[in-house]
Structure 1
Amino acid sequence: MVKWFLVAVGSVSLALGAVGILLPILPTTPFLLLAAFCFARSSERLHDYLVNHRVFGTYISNYYNHAMTPRHKARTLATLWFGIIVSVLLIGKLIPAVILPIIAGLVSLHIIRLRPRPEQAPDTRLEFPEDRAVPEPGTARTVSEQTPRSQDTAEGPAQRDR
C-alpha cells in the first residue's frame, strides 16, 4: 500500500515539476526531487527513468552535484527575474513589490554561488549487458560509470561470488 502511495505522490510531483518548467509560478526542482525520493523508495524502474531522463535528469543532477553550467545559470536567472518582474507588475501592491525581489535576490545569490560545471554535459547514455535486449530495472549503467565489464553479469551479485 505504501509503495503505491509513493508511486502516486511521485507521479503527481513529476507532473507538477514538468508544468513548472513552463510556468515560473511552480518550482520545478523541489517537485522533481520529491518525485526522485518517492520513486527511489517505491520503484527502481521509475527512479532510473527519472534520473536518466534527458530533461528532468539535468535538474536532479544539478541539485545533487551543487553545480550548474554557466548557460543554465543565465537561463535560470533570466526566467526567475522575468517571473518576479511580471508578478510585481500584475499584483501592483507594495508588500509583494518589496518581498518578491528580496526573495529573488537571495535565490540569485544562491545560484551564482553554485560551482560552475563545464558546458558539455556528462555522458548519460545507458549501457546494457550484451546478453539482454531490454534491461531489468536497476541493471542499466551509465557509460561514465567505471564498473569493469567482467563483473557485470545477468545473474547478479550472488552469482558473481561463486
Structure 2
Amino acid sequence: MQGKRILYLMLGWFSLITGIIGIFLPLLPTTPLVLLAAWCFSKSSVRFHTWLIEHKFFGPIINDWQSSDGIPKKARNRAIIFMWAGMAISIFIVSRIWATIGLVFIGLCVTTYLLRLPLRSESKNIAEEKDEEA
C-alpha cells in the first residue's frame, strides 16, 4: 500500500509541475494537470491535497470543478477560443492530414463537453466575492 501512495504522490507532483509549465507553454493544458494533481494528492497526502485546494491560484480551479454550480460562461468561452486557436496553429505547423483530422475530432469532442457543462450565473460570482470581502 505504501508503494501505491508514493506512486500517487510522484504522479501528483509531476502533474502539478507540468501544469505550472503549461501556464507558459500553450500546448500543455494547465487545468487538467492541476485537477489530476489534486486527485493524486487526495489518494496520497492529505497535507498536499489541502495545500493545493487552499492555494491562491490553483484552489479556485479545483473548487470550480468539484462544485456542482458549473463554470463561468466567460471561462468556458475563453477555453474554447484558446483551444481552437492552439489547435489551428498546430494544424498549420504540422500540416499532416492525419494530425488535422485527429485535432479537429478532439476539438469537437472537447467543445461539445464544454458546451454541455452547466454555467454558473455571474450574479452568484459577484455575491460570493462580496461575501469573501466582508
Instruction: State the TM-score bracket (shorter-chain normalisation).
Output: 0.7 to 0.9
Aligned to 1:96: 99
Q: Which residue of 1 aligns with 2:33?
A: 31
CA RMSD of aligned residues (A): 2.5
Aligned to 1:40: 42
Q: Specify the alignment match of 1:55 in structure 2.
A: 57
> What is the deviation of 1:65?
2.9
1:77 aligns with 2:80: yes
Partners in 1 of 2:54 and 2:120 — Cα distance? 18
C-alpha separation between the residues in 1 aligned to 2:98 and 2:8? Answer: 38
Can you list the C-alpha shifts for 1:104-126, whole angstroms capped at 9, x where unaligned?
1221111111111133274696x
Following TM superposition, the consecutive aligned residue runs of length 4 or more in structure 1 with deviations greater than 3 angstroms are 1-6, 121-125
Of 91-100 and 74-83, more deviation after overlay is shown by: 91-100
User: Are the counterparts in 2 of residues 24 and 80 from structure 1 also a CA contact under 8 Å?
Assistant: no
In terms of Rg, which structure is larger?
A: 1
SS at match of 2:26: coil
Identify if the C-alpha distance between structure 1 residues 113 and 7 changes in structure 2 by more than 3 Å, giving closer, same or farther.
same
Q: Distance in 2 between matches of 1:105 and 1:44?
A: 36
* TM-score, structure 2 as length reference: 0.77
Structure with bigger RCO (C-alpha 8 Å, 6+ apart): 2
Number of aligned residues: 126
Q: Distance in 2 between matches of 1:108 and 1:46?
A: 31
Deviation of the 1:5 alpha carbon: 4.0
Matched position secondary structure for 1:54: coil
TM-score (structure 1 length as normaliser): 0.66
Higher helix share: 2
For structure 1, which runs of at least 5 residues remain unmatched after alignment? 126-162
Identity value in percent: 31
